[in-house]
Amino acid sequence: MKKKTVSILLMAAMALSLAACGFSNSTDSSSKSSSKAESTSASSASSEAESASSAKSTADGEVFDDTTVTVFAAKSLNSVMETLISEYNKTQPNVKLVGSYDSSGTLMTQIEEGASCDVFFSAAAKQMDQIEEENLLVEGTRHNIVNNQVCVVTYEGSNTEVTGLEDLNKASSIALADGSVPVGKYTREALVNAGILEKADDVSAITTQQVSEALSGVEINECANVGAVTSAVAEGSNEVGTVYYSDTYGLEDRLKVLQVVPYDLTGNVIYPAAQVVNKEADETEQAAAKDFVEFLTSDEAAAIFRNYYFDTEVE
């Protein structure tokens, strides 16, 4: 009887032990399952957060898809534009900006004739005004970007007797832009206000021959744009010429500034920029064009303009 009792007790103890073991395994399994579920849930939440962050970066970061934006810019902007484009592409690497540089009058005519253009950056308000009157600008995108100044320049070592506008007639030859070119128009405006040329309703209509006659018949090389004037003087083909102050950037060893013409003779030399209506452009191209015009008004762009001798104080 005693042996039977002991046997029963042993069997009961083993049953309790197995039950406890089963409970422990069940608890461990449940704990691991719960831990795994929590881990999966956390991983899923993290993945969703990363996905949302990525989507936010694309939307709020305004990084455009691949597109090409064509910019028509005044010849005097050639050098600074390349630096501006490089700076813009640091945040918009997918936007290819293609610059076309010429006199503002020539670029205006090309836009009027239907040339594919997304942004117009003029060296004068007159050309921009005309484009705007013809409803060729995207409303609300026009901004005055910088101011410039007309300069009388000569080449280094010329030994010219000319000191400025007042004695231009002492030059053996002058490089002068046509009246349809902003710098040519501003030069004529200054000569009128200085009393050298007779007043006219439209100074841009004053011919090169009339300017020559007012300067005692001096030989004048009529140039198609300010870049041609700059080259003609820097190369010594003409003794003096009138260019923008910004055109002397990088040519300090070849060009000598004889006079920076004051604003009371030329008026402000404002450079406006605006998005052009381009019916061939898709939504991405249009959005990038507008964004680039806005970039031109930024502090980053202003710092670059100042490095290239432009005045960023505009009215």
Is residue 67 within a helix (H) or strand (E), and if so which, with residue range? strand 67-74
Give 204-240 pLDDT, tens digit per residue.
999 999 999 999 999 999 999 999 999 999 999 999 9
Q: Are 291 and 94 in contact (CB under 8 A)?
A: no
For residue 10, report the phi and psi dihedrals to the nearest 5 degrees: -65, -45
Residue 50 has pLDDT above 80, yes or no: no
CA 262 to CA 258: how far, in whole Å?
A: 13
- Do the beta carbons of residue 204 and residue 179 sit within 8 Å? yes
Residue 149 in contact with residue 142, Cβ under 8 Å?
no
Mean per-residue pLDDT for 101-127?
97
Q: What is the pLDDT of residues 260-314, one digit of tens each?
A: 999 999 999 999 999 999 999 999 999 999 999 999 999 999 999 999 999 999 8
DSSP 225: S
- Contact between 64 and 92 under an 8 Å Cβ cutoff? The reply is yes
How far is 296 from 280, CA to CA, in rounded Å? 23
- Taking alpha carbons only, the member of 305, 201, 290 closest to residue 245 is 305
